[in-house]
Structure 1
């Protein structure tokens, strides 16, 4: 998970950036700041992986704010002023987005900023030993042993996840991002921001959806290339 901070004095800019970030898996909003002084106060006690920074703000300008940081996280500038781009790159920002910017341009900037942390794979390389073939999940106030082969798919449910099994289902007290880490096994693939599916239980792939048993699972735009790779295997 990568935490991000929005620093902009315009409410509309906050909404656009957050809406775009909501489409990108594993980005978590840490805080909205409406001026740079508020952001400085937050960063004294907290850390983030990425900052979306406006330049023309009251009290403290964007680049003056950057110069005041002892250790800056990755920064994507979001501004209506193109004339400051050179200065921005001298301060080692990751990218410089001119308002209004499209989601595609925004996504390229985020991928560039988080190229090490944000991977377009469905599995994080730890947690489950494939040789064991089972996992313990916490549900209904107890840890339940589940065979990996019995899992059909996992669906996000806010701070919980629904684990759909053959003939049963569990409501697990884990976010979908946590389930991605727990299901560290080649038997599973993340196909959508809200869905992980078991590869062997995919009956068909048609357009932007997958059939697993009696359920149709949507394919997210961000994961389409991963799903397409199954067809080439």
Structure 2
């Protein structure tokens, strides 16, 4: 569950962001704050996972507010001013949404924020540590958004205007390009082996010639992508 707050002095911005979040599973609204001082007071008493932060606010500007936080949560900036993007990235802002932004761009920011390479993930002691929100993505399927645990993905197959995301739980059909899906997956864990196939390295059972056996399926290796497989094999 991703607990979030919205910090923005415009009521319509709260409505847009909350409306987008309501379309996604496991996004849990916590608080609307209309200035940074109100947010500081809330954060002193509560722990959250994500802040949607406007920059141009009364009393205390957005980046000045961020500098007051010793251990800030993830932050997605939502603003009408593009000239402050560089400073935002210096403050480890996860993404920078320029108003007005579409739901598709919003979804990309969420996926980018909560997908991190396995080697940089925090150490957890719970038995289900592998299923934290930092290792999940949202995929559109029909008229809904399905939350997928990255470690459950076996491979992705491009099929016309759609992609099949094959997981240990089943197959999800999404109207998206394989090139777009690659950008939201940890680069250290997934390998493109064919124009139409991306595989999860950890789930490969064997490699035989130009064929990869993964799960109960066989995936071809394209000529252009043989180098990717050779690197995996240390050749």
Q: TM-score range by the shorter chain?
A: 0.5 to 0.7
Alignment of 1:1-233 (within 5 A): 1-115=1-115, 126=128, 208=142, 220-222=144-146, 225=165, 228-229=171-172
Higher relative contact order (CA 8 A, sep 6+): 1
- Calculate the TM-score normalised by the size of structure 2: 0.53
8 Å contact from structure 2 (residues 74, 94) kept in 1: yes
Task: Give the Å deviation of 1:28.
Answer: 0.2
CA deviation after TM superposition for structure 1 residue 220, in Å: 2.2
Q: Structure 2: 5+ residue runs without aligned partners?
A: 117-126, 129-138, 148-163, 174-215, 218-235
TM-superposed deviation, 1:20: 0.5
CA RMSD for the aligned pairs?
A: 3.3
The runs of at least 4 aligned residues of structure 1 exceeding 2 Å deviation read 219-230
TM-score by length of 1: 0.54
1:221 shift after superposition: 3.7
Task: Provide the C-alpha distance between the structure 2 equivalents of 1:11 and 1:26, rounded to a whole number of angstroms.
Answer: 23
Indicate the SS of the match to 2:44: helix
Partner of 1:165: none
Cα deviation for residue 228 of structure 1 reads: 3.5
Q: Give the distance between the partners of 2:39 and 2:145, measured in 1 at CA.
A: 32
Give secondary structure in 2 for the equivalent of 1:222: strand
Q: CA deviation at 1:225?
A: 4.3
Which structure 1 residue ranges, 5 or more long, are not aligned? 117-124, 127-191, 194-206, 209-218
